[in-house]
Amino acid sequence: MATKDEILAKLANAVVTYKEADAMAGVKEALEMGIPPVDIVTRGLSVGIRTVGERYGQGKVAIPFVMLAAKIMDKATKEALSKVPADQMPKPLATMVIGTVEGDIHDLGSNIVSAVFSASGFKVYNLGHDVSPDTFIKKAEEVGADMIGASALMTNTLQQQKILGDKLAKQGLREKYIYLVGGGAFPGAEWCEEIGADGFATDVTIGLEVAKKCVAERKKQTN
């Protein structure tokens, strides 16, 4: 009979090797063995998605495989947590509204971020592509979001990131939200500073660390 550590390792490997059937079977085996669902996610599945993310950052894994791993992770996570009573569900690290800015039809990057962030403990509302500043703000207010993420994949839509930041400021909401920006067209730290965003990334693994750091800093400020 497999040990707890062996089952958790198998779960991680299922994500790394993109085997959905193995991941789902591993979740079932882990639950039957009495392994807590939170351990299944944090010590099994999450280990796998971090490995895939690291390999992507090293140029060893293509984007479609990151998406596939994230989808497997998300499905297996939902199955594991479905067995947890509502009052015992782990609290999300933060609630995030994300999308690709108005005028930009590319949403692969924001979809990857959405999947990986969801699998890593964030509650994510993905608005898709061609999202207006008002839509970002309306959704963030509606769901009580902690952060807003705006992606721009086209150079001529970068200005929309500034417009969103300016609208937040004009409505007195800028300090309410952690504002993160990125995307294939993103020029770097100078643009992030110019538009007054809290952080930026053009890579999902770096973006995840930036988001976690911003959340931790915000919690320190409010405590």
* Tens-binned pLDDT, residue by residue, of the chain (223 aa): 789 999 999 999 999 999 999 999 999 999 999 998 878 887 898 888 888 878 887 889 887 888 888 889 888 988 988 877 766 666 889 999 999 999 998 877 787 788 778 767 889 999 999 999 999 999 999 999 999 999 998 888 999 999 999 999 999 999 999 999 988 777 788 899 999 999 998 877 788 889 999 999 988 877 6
CATH topology of domain 4-87: 1.10.1240
Shortest CA distance to 14 belongs to which of 29, 3, 24, 2?
24
Q: Which residues does residue 179 pair with via DSSP β-bridges, in sequence order?
A: 148
Which class does domain 95-222 fall in? alpha beta
Strands of the chain, DSSP E: 95-100, 123-126, 147-151, 178-182, 199-201
Residue type, 195: I
The SS3 call for residue 95 is strand
Q: Is 164 exposed, middle or buried (0-12, 13-18, 19+ CB in 10 A)?
A: buried
Rounded CA separation 145/124 (Å): 9
The predicted model scores a pTM of 0.72
Dihedral over alpha carbons 118, 101, 202, 67 (to 10 degrees): 40
- Work out the angle at residue 127's Cα, subtended by the Cα atoms of residues 158 and 75, and round it to the nearest 5 degrees: 125
Q: How far apart are CA 18 and CA 73, in angstroms?
A: 9
Length of the chain: 223
Parse the chain into domains and list their residue ranges. Answer: 4-87, 95-222
